Amino acid sequence: MRHFTIPIFIPMQACPHRCIFCDQHAIAGHSAVPDAIAVKEIIRNHLATLPVDAQIEVGFFGGTFTGLPLARQEKLLHAVQPFVASGDVQSIRLSTRPDMIDDKVLELLLKMKVGTVELGAQSMDEEVLRLSERGHDAACVDRAAHKIKASGLRLGLQMMTGLPGDTPEKTLATAKKFVEMGANDVRIYPAVVVLGTPLADLYMRGEYIPQSLQEAVEQVATLVPIFESAGINIIRLGLHPSAGLLDGSALVAGPFHVSFGELVHTELWRQKLVLIEHPGNCDEVMIYVAASARNAAIGHKAANRRMLETHFKKVRFVADAALKNRDFYVDYR
Ligand code: SF4
């Protein structure tokens, strides 16, 4: 069954301060917090375009949902209840900061049938959190994650790579900590320099160097297998392509790519396919892969096929229903 999330953006109004990399207005492309009427309208408009048999959730993204006054949270969540009651919407998720989770909030979320809470954790390294001006420490993420899991809600965790003070080792340690904390879902975003943010000022002064696209792709490719082998659902790799990022008007520097996730999966396949040896007496190589993995195996803009075509006259990727994930075998002709 196909899954869809109806996104409702809550801009950064509820944030106690501003993280160094964030301009939620530029990223989300929205600036007003919707009211209950607007929430209902957004849901109705999306439902009209979605298949009737789809699995549908409503997601409140963008800001710090649980930083809004409780009465306001209740109003927004209340607006979703008729759609949940009718069965048109099956679940609700929201994203928030770890320091905005307490017992009262969790009680409300459970009452309002929220299924998943996503925490913007970004890093579990104290120095990275401090330099990114997150305003909370790693223990705060741990506490919030524990409370969410203990309440029975699903836990989503968001992490970033390439923040000030970050290293590949710290990023790897963050991913391992996410597994320990029992994340159900993760999102991974390489840090990009967005216009009007304090990070852009640092960059302009030469005090921050963002990751290159290649560095970010290779680093995120080291994280994906950690989450996959722990059975954690990777919801997103790379920032959503808002208008400002797409046309470049909000992007100052950094590894933004509209198909970032595809690049990461291409890299994961490249690392395997590059090991294929040429036996010396054939022109054609057939690579058998799971049907769902065929596009990723061929690679973004056929990068992996083109790599193999430098050794073989003909390269074919063939779906084999018996294969899963990134398993493959090779036949030569
Ligand atoms: S908590 Fe999230 S929305 Fe708020 S300033 Fe930080 S990154 Fe932006």
pLDDT digits (tens, 9 = 90+) for 91-106: 999 999 999 999 999 9
33 Cα–ligand 1 center, Å: 15
How large is the average pLDDT for residues 262-277? 97
Domain map (residue ranges) of the chain: 3-258, 266-332
**Contact status, residue 117 vs residue 174, Cβ threshold 8 Å:** no
Does pLDDT of 140 surpass 50? yes
Ligand 1 lined by 210 (C-beta under 6 Å): no
Atom of ligand 1 nearest to the CA of 122: 7
Q: Whose CA is nearest to atom 5 of ligand 1?
A: 18
Position in ligand 1 atom list of the atom nearest CA 97: 1
Q: What are phi and psi of 73, to 5 degrees?
A: -55, -45
Lowest mean pLDDT of 12-21, 65-74, 104-113, 133-142, name the range. 12-21
Q: What is the DSSP string of 126-175?
A: HHHHHHTT-SS-HHHHHHHHHHHHHHT-EEEEEEEES-TT--HHHHHHHH
Site to probe by mutation for ligand 1, drawn from 10, 17, 22 as the one with most ligand atoms within 8 Å of Cβ, is 22
Instruction: Please tell me if the CB atom of residue 67 comes closer than 6 angstroms to any atom of ligand 1.
Output: no
Q: How does residue 29 score in pLDDT terms, banded at 50, 70 and 90?
A: very low
* The 154-161 sheet, strands edge to edge: 3-9, 55-61, 91-96, 114-122, 154-161, 185-190, 233-237
Q: In what order do the strands lie in the sheet with 328-332?
A: 314-319, 284-289, 328-332
Query: pLDDT tens for residues 149-203?
Result: 999 999 999 999 999 999 999 999 999 999 999 999 999 999 999 999 999 999 9
Q: Considering only CA atoms, which residue is closest to atom 3 of ligand 1?
A: 63
Dihedral of the CA atoms 206, 197, 155, 104 (nearest 10)?
130
- Asked whether 81 and 112 are in contact (CB, 8 A), the reply is yes
Question: How do residues 271-328 score in pLDDT, each as one tens digit?
Answer: 999 999 888 888 899 999 999 999 999 999 999 999 999 999 999 999 999 999 999 9
Residue 19 Cβ < 6 Å to ligand 1 = yes
Are 152 and 34 contacting, i.e. CB atoms less than 8 angstroms apart?
A: no
63 lines ligand 1 (CB under 6 A): yes
Whether 136 shows a pLDDT value over 80: the answer reads: yes
Q: Which of 19, 128, 199 for mutating ligand 1's site (highest number of atoms within 8 Å of CB)?
A: 19
Q: Which CATH class is domain 3-258?
A: alpha beta
- Cα separation, 326 vs 196, in Å, equals 41
| 64 pocket-lining for ligand 1 (C-beta < 6 Å) | yes
Share of the chain above pLDDT 70, in %: 96
For residue 258, the CA-to-ligand 1 centroid distance in Å is: 22
Residue with the smallest CA separation from ligand 1 atom 2 is 63
* Residue 12 Cβ contacting ligand 1 at under 6 Å: yes
Q: What is the mean pLDDT of the segment spanning 15-40?
A: 76
Lowest mean pLDDT among 18-32, 263-277, 305-319: 18-32
Distance CA 228, CA 214 (A): 21
